[in-house]
């Protein structure tokens, strides 16, 4: 282990010697912990990190000068659509996706390094229950979708197949996530096919470029953003693990989307048949100012432009069909070939530019008192998973319907959007639509049929509560066998046992 003298000399080189200012007051154990945290920090890299953070923070907010003139929407040949394509084309994409899954060539990779701070919980978001009748967590829903898509691909191709689940955690989420999976028996997945690995942490920095001490013996550290994926793949030899398993295609997604379709055969098949090395699912922006990044081109190169970088005038622009010109909202749902990920880790990762997140970071003052700031006082530098789009040789985007595939969980229940309440409604409304499409009818308390709404009111619950286990249906398929011509009173919880029981009865 590095000595105090070595670490002090390295911090001096980085201009961060203040991190040892309480050294004399510390007992042996906290001293050892602080040295262990500081020893891996390379002086030149640390100095550069702090310089970039302060420099980025000093830049004026808003759209970069001249960006509007360099923006273009994605050309039509790079864009597919789940809803606008004809059934035959969509079927071809789906069949190709299932073929690749049956060949064991598809893996899913979950980005789960963030803490549920905005949600108001102290545990990883994947462990959260949004209040479904089944009480399932996000992790359980996702595990069951993997099991179902393996089953569907296996049935189509007469084989047993595996979709490995890679889970990128951080120092904050690895322990609780691993324990949660063990407690729940990995949701009946083979533990050998669930691979957890940690992303790196970076120090939080003050506006004038000084690393923040969270306690006298601890630096304020934060995960390096979901774009930390690329360093983490290299650190933990994940691509080598994928190669050993024969994985060629990776579906990367964010933990907080309750409607996410893991290893979505339609998306995988579209990307494979397009010969894409990199792809992004997008949803149509709900309104011009919606705070989502836009997938478009800058100087002819695909990338995600953050909503804060697009001027209100540009955001309002309309295409010839009357829709928004820049309407491809990014939802952190991506396709990569393993070959592309290898190129990124070997060649392009050092070219990624970190983004600034200005945060309230607890710190110790000069007297050693803990301060919980009331306004932002520090900078966390993050890389984003989509920062690699410009390096793709054949980038594609795939538009999906928001009500079918995107309802993120970010805020506590008092918020009017992206909350447990909106996520729960989105899932239950989807399942209600699926049940109606399969020929079910729902009755009110008096035995009258409830309305067959095309979708739930935007701010209200569907007319009846209907929750369908992912183990019964992945995306609404196969429900006629259980529901057609039957009448149900709310709530209907269609799990595997209930489905078996219904199958044995006459409608």
86-129 residue pLDDT tens = 999 999 999 999 999 999 999 999 999 877 778 888 899 999 99
Of 301 and 222, the structure prediction assigns the larger pLDDT to: 301
pLDDT of 300-317, one tens digit each? 999 999 888 888 999 999
pLDDT digits (tens, 9 = 90+) for 317-355: 999 989 999 999 999 999 999 999 999 999 999 999 888
Give the model's pLDDT for residue 114: 77
Contacts of 273 (CB under 8 A, 6+ apart): 92, 93, 96
- More confident call, 44 vs 279: 279
In whole numbers, what is the pLDDT of the chain averaged over residues?
92
Cα–Cα separations (whole angstroms), residue 380 to 51, 205, 207, 315? 13, 7, 10, 27
In this predicted structure, what is the pLDDT of residue 498? 87
Instruction: For residue range 152-164, list pLDDT tens digits in order.
Output: 999 999 999 999 9
275 compared with 448, residue with greater pLDDT: 275
Closest CA to 312 of 286, 291, 282: 291
**pLDDT score, position 506:** 64
Of the two residues 42 and 155, the one the predictor is more confident about is: 155
The answer to whether 350 and 230 have CB atoms below 8 angstroms apart is no
Q: How far apart are CA 52 and CA 57, in angstroms?
A: 8
Measured in degrees and rounded to the nearest 5, phi and psi for residue 359 equal: -135, 165
- pLDDT tens for each residue of 162-206: 999 999 999 889 999 999 999 999 999 999 999 999 999 899 999
Residues 6+ apart with CB under 8 A from 98: 152, 153, 156, 157, 265, 269
Percent of the chain clearing pLDDT 70 (strictly above): 97
Q: What is the 3-state secondary structure (H, E, C) of 366-408?
A: CCCCEECCCCCCEEEEECCHHHHHHHCCCEEEEECCHHHHCCE
Q: What is the mean predicted confidence (pLDDT) over 457-461?
A: 63
At 223, list the tokens: 């995960």
Q: What are phi and psi of 37, to 5 degrees?
A: -75, -35
Domains of the chain (ranges plus CATH)? 83-405 (3.90.550.10), 429-503 (2.10.10.100)
CA dihedral 138, 277, 310, 402 (to 10 degrees): -40
pLDDT band at 453 (very low <50, low <70, confident <90, very high): low
Q: State pLDDT tens for residues 472-503.
A: 999 999 999 999 999 999 999 999 988 888 87
Q: Is residue 61 very low, low, confident or very high in pLDDT (cuts 50, 70, 90)?
A: low
Q: Is the pLDDT of residue 456 over 50?
A: no
Report d(CA 476, CA 468) in Å as an integer: 9
pLDDT at 455 over 80: no
Beta pairing, strands 466-468 & 492-494 = parallel
- The span from the CA of 335 to the CA of 109, in Å, is 10
CB within 8 A of 207, min separation 6: which ones? Answer: 54, 57, 377, 378, 379
In this structure, are residues 320 and 202 in contact, taking their beta carbons and an 8 Å threshold? no
**pLDDT value, residue 19:** 94
pLDDT of 2: 76
Contact 395, 278 (CB under 8 A): yes
């Amino acid at each position: 282990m590095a000595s105090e003298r070595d670490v002090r000399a390295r911090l001096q080189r980085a201009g961060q010697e203040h991190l040892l200012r309480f050294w004399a007051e510390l007992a042996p154990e906290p001293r050892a912990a602080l040295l262990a945290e500081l020893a891996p920090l390379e002086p030149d890299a640390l100095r550069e990190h702090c310089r970039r953070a302060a420099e980025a923070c000093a830049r004026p907010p808003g759209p970069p000068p001249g960006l509007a003139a360099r923006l273009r929407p994605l050309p039509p040949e790079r864009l597919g659509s789940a809803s606008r394509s004809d059934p035959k084309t969509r079927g071809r994409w789906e069949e190709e996706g299932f073929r690749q899954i049956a060949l064991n060539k598809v893996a899913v990779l979950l980005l789960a390094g963030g803490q549920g701070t905005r949600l108001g919980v102290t545990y990883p978001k994947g462990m959260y229950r949004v209040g479904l009748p089944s009480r399932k967590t996000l992790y359980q829903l996702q595990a069951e979708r993997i099991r179902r898509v393996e089953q569907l691909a296996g049935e189509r191709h007469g084989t047993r197949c595996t979709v490995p689940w890679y889970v990128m955690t951080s120092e904050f989420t690895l322990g609780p996530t691993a324990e949660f999976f063990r407690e729940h028996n990995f949701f009946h997945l083979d533990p050998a096919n669930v691979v957890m690995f940690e992303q790196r942490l970076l120090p939080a920095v003050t506006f004038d470029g000084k690393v923040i001490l969270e306690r006298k013996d601890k630096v304020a550290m934060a995960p390096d953003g979901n774009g930390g994926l690329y360093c983490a793949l290299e650190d933990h030899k994940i691509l080598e693990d994928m190669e050993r398993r024969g994985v060629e295609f990776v579906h990367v997604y964010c933990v907080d989307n309750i409607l996410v379709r893991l290893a979505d055969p339609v998306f995988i098949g579209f990307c494979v048949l397009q010969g894409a090395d990199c792809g992004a699912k997008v949803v149509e922006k709900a309104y011009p100012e919606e705070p989502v990044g836009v997938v478009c081109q800058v100087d002819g190169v695909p990338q995600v432009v953050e909503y804060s970088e697009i001027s209100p005038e540009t955001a309002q622009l309309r295409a010839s069909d009357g829709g928004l010109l820049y309407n491809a909202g990014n939802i952190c749902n991506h396709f990569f070939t393993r070959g592309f990920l290898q190129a990124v880790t070997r060649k392009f990762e050092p070219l990624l530019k970190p983004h600034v997140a200005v945060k309230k970071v607890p710190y110790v003052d000069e007297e050693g008192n803990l301060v919980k700031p009331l306004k932002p006082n520090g900078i966390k530098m993050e890389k984003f998973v989509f920062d690699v789009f410009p390096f793709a040789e054949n980038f594609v985007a795939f538009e999906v319907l928001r009500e079918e595939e995107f309802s993120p969980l970010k805020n506590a229940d008092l918020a009017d959007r992206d909350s447990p309440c909106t996520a729960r409604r989105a899932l239950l409304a989807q399942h209600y639509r699926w049940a109606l499409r399969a020929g079910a009818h729902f009755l009110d308390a008096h035995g009258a049929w409830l309305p067959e709404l095309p979708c739930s009111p935007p701010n209200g619950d569907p007319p009846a509560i209907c929750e369908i286990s992912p183990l019964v249906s992945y995306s609404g398929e196969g429900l006629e066998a259980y529901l057609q011509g039957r009448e149900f009173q709310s709530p209907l919880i269609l799990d595997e046992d209930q489905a078996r029981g219904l199958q044995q009865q006459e409608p």
